[in-house]
Structure 1
Amino acid sequence: MSARTTPLATILVVDDEPIIRETLAEFLHQEGFAVVAVGTGEEAVARAAEQRFDVLLCDVNLPGWDGIEVMERVAKVCPETFVMLITAYATVETAVEAFQKGAHDYLMKPIILHEVGGKIRRLIRTRDVFRENQWLRRELSRTEDGGGEMVVGRSPAMRQALDLARKVGPTSSTVLILGESGTGKELLARAVHCHAQAAKPTGGRFIAVNCAAIPHDLLENQLFGHRRGAFTGADKDAPGIFAHAGPGTVFLDEIGELPLGTQAKLLRAIEQKEVFPVGANEPSRVEARVLAATNKDLAKEAAEGRFREDLFYRLNVVSIKLPPLRERREDLPDLIEFLLAKHARSMGKKMTGVSHEAMQLLLAHPWRGNVRELDNALQRALILGDGPLVSPSDLPPDIAPQPADPFGVNDLGTAVERFERLHIERILRAAPDKREAAKMLGIGLSSLYRKIEQYGIGV
């Protein structure tokens, strides 16, 4: 294997010919994959029952169970495994049968090794997309059933963030999520919690706390609870958020706003799994995992004495950075589609998409408020719009500035020019091509081109 410490994927090779089996195993190992190689279908199914494999690379013609039967049996014990069959006798019929039974690709003998590497890598990419789509479908189902939210994005930066969330979710590690306001830090924290519950269901709750939104003198009471008689009006014990979360997750947003005194108590909750409710003489045990988020540079805050250095290092075991929306514009179409569909369902509207002109405006906007600003803009469009598509007039004025009133001038010539330009632009949007636009305007095609150049109309 190369210097890579983590294998690209784990491959199960099944071939009864030792030279082919050993050659494939050695080649794939050198390419950076973890490989298990066996000679029979029975051995393959037994190994698949013990270990999860990303790809099954299996000869069709095996003694005992043939490749298709092996594929079907492996699918029962390891359903996420992708399958590539090897055959020396490929026919249309066998290929169709293989794909119908669940194969994803096949190789012809004699085997060309660089072709094997390319096909395996394509399968791995397909597997990654498949797994992400499975997770997105589960999340979408959760949003429809429970009114939750989800993280959407296929840009490299978002795929990296989602992959980190998937990897760290099943662990007990603290996580620090970094990003500007409105980038979806709480949604990513929920994704980490969902991955944790999927791996080991505990029934624990996800509770989010905005540290900047609660007065400092009430924050400890909210987080850790209080004992009877701790202050005027405390006539009974009250559990805090850590107790309510149980074996779940406490998400502390804007952690940089936490007072230094409360930071010390939070550090104890993380390290020793115990808290002191307000007015208590004895600590209470807690189980909740802590996730935190900030839009501040906590290392700088710690260096300048505004944040505890030991707490910073304890929180920063794994950090996930969420990029601002302006740096992942390739995610905008998917985000727009998802948010529009979500709000259309909740409002009972029939708006099914975005017009080309409105999409161009949405793609060009700087989105300083990130996903939150986009979400608000699309809600406004649904409230104001009447057609099946979002139009520029449905968008906020800062995204789609309204054209100047052509009659807002005294000079007749200027007013005529403004109106003519607006009218030509409207016809160009409506017509299938410039020739038809010229007919609709009642002018020649060459005259239309002159007008386009005169007014600097973008087409």
Structure 2
Amino acid sequence: MSGAAGSPDPPPSPPSTLSSDSPAAHEFRWQALFQRTREPVFVLNRRRRFLFVNRAWEILTGLSAAEARGLACVRRPPIPQDPWDVVIRAVCCPPQEVLKGRPGRSRRLVPGKVARWWDVEFFPLHADEGLLCIVGKVSVVPGGDPAGSAPLPERIVAYREGRKQHYTFASLASKLPAGQRVAEQARLAAQTDAPVLLLGEPGTGKEWIARTIHYQSAAGAGPFAALDCARLPPEALQALLFGEQNLQQNLRSGTLCLKEAQCLPRELQMRLLETLPSGEAADRTRVIAAVSVDPALAIASGDFLEPLYCVLSTLNIHVPALRERLPDLPRFIEEFLKRAQIGGEQRVTGVTDEALDQLRAYAWPGNLRELYAVLQAACLRSSGDRIEPGHLPSALRVAVRLDRTPGSQEEKPLNLDQVLEKAERRLIQLALRKAKGNRSRAAELLSIWRARLIRRMEALGIEDW
């Protein structure tokens, strides 16, 4: 009798016949082991048909072992109009990576009078000839959808699960102490919901690290949004952060990444500072900021609000430039070649030694972003399975040749007094511009007396702003 109409079927009696070519005694022993577990467990054959379900699974689903045995899984999301057995067969269907032999996990929406979410884990088992069977375990998500709102479409849940498999700490591996420190700090940041400040030149992979922290943290099931504060106009930033979109409210249990946070208008920085929660809260929005300039200079120039910097820099992660981590270059090349050919044939699998020598000799002012663009273009030019020097951009090859040519750049003696004078003039002009010509305010920004500022302006020939 089905568990929906009465008590579940009694425990199996030996010998149970799960497979005609398996010894009955051994088969009964592993079935009895699964029957003792409190978690709902099921076993599928390589064709995704049910071989076995335990009593906990019967109680959860309302289907008996006799009703389930032999049913084939359905490879589509369930809909409310489906019969109950079709819903269960769809929810327990393993994703493609499991059929290829890799363990997997999916969050599935179970339609009904009260929609529920189930986490289904899949563990493929192998024999000499290939995939033998798939063991599945079901966990009911407590309280329904973790975001506390209407259930999300399963494709969005599947997308987030895929992102979690994509942005892993393994992708941050490095041979250098500086790179290893970044991975360790990211792992630490994922264990808390405190604000994080990522520091590094443009293109060093700060957003990738932010996404890794998000997807590997407790907030990974929630949304992630990145705002480029340097490119978006103030009106758009106002609307997104505090207006109609109000990401601070709509990203509950998620993460907000502010790229170039020092470029936020000052009034928005003050409002952000007021809305940042203190302490830990289950539904707070995690804030990760990324800056590509020296925060001290941004604060001194008035671009970065110092109290906001103090809050955002609870955890600081310094991301090194690519030129400082050239031993990691082969790993980046391998990963970027795979990424550049996603969706097509993985034709190009590496670079020749001569091309690698050129890539190592280049200064990489654009860091990882430039490396990816170079490899993406080289893949299109290459007709074989290796990238050769001729497939690299001509500008890169010329830059390397100039750097290697003796005497190509005339070394001029540096005049320290001229360099210091130029830097002082630039800082005073910048302070006057920030202060809108107010000398007292400009002196405060430069941390000097007003009288000294006036003397230096006269000595350097700087007129009023």
Q: Which TM-score applies when normalising by structure 1?
A: 0.48
Larger relative helix fraction: 1
Q: Which TM-score applies when normalising by structure 2?
A: 0.48
